[in-house]
Structure 1
């Protein structure tokens, strides 16, 4: 009688213990990579939150130093004068 397929006929081949270790190591590496991305994002958010007031103040100072104030409109000497 000739065998026309694998001996396990429908069941997946038996896994070797080394395959499980490779799978576990792959999952742990993926989990570590995702955790690292989340940690870097969180630290960047905290740094940006702390630096924002200084950055905005510096931008306002640079804009004020490099631009001239618009001319003031002509106003009467007294608000009750017509």
Structure 2
């Protein structure tokens, strides 16, 4: 098995190089789950806590946009993808 490591490393390097742009960089689609939006909403809640049971952060428009983005990616079974 240890003898197979150099060949595996060579194949991995060849695969990466085959995907490299001629100008020297790699480019791929950047995807993510809803974690970033969820983290943003939680950060806003910490930074701007509710007062007297009302939550109205100065970033409410962005919070609502993040929440809409999360809900738009909800799966038919009610769950969410995780990456």
Tell which has more relative contact order, 1 or 2 (C-alpha 8 A, sep 6+): 2
- Indicate the structure (1 or 2) with the bigger Cα radius of gyration: 1
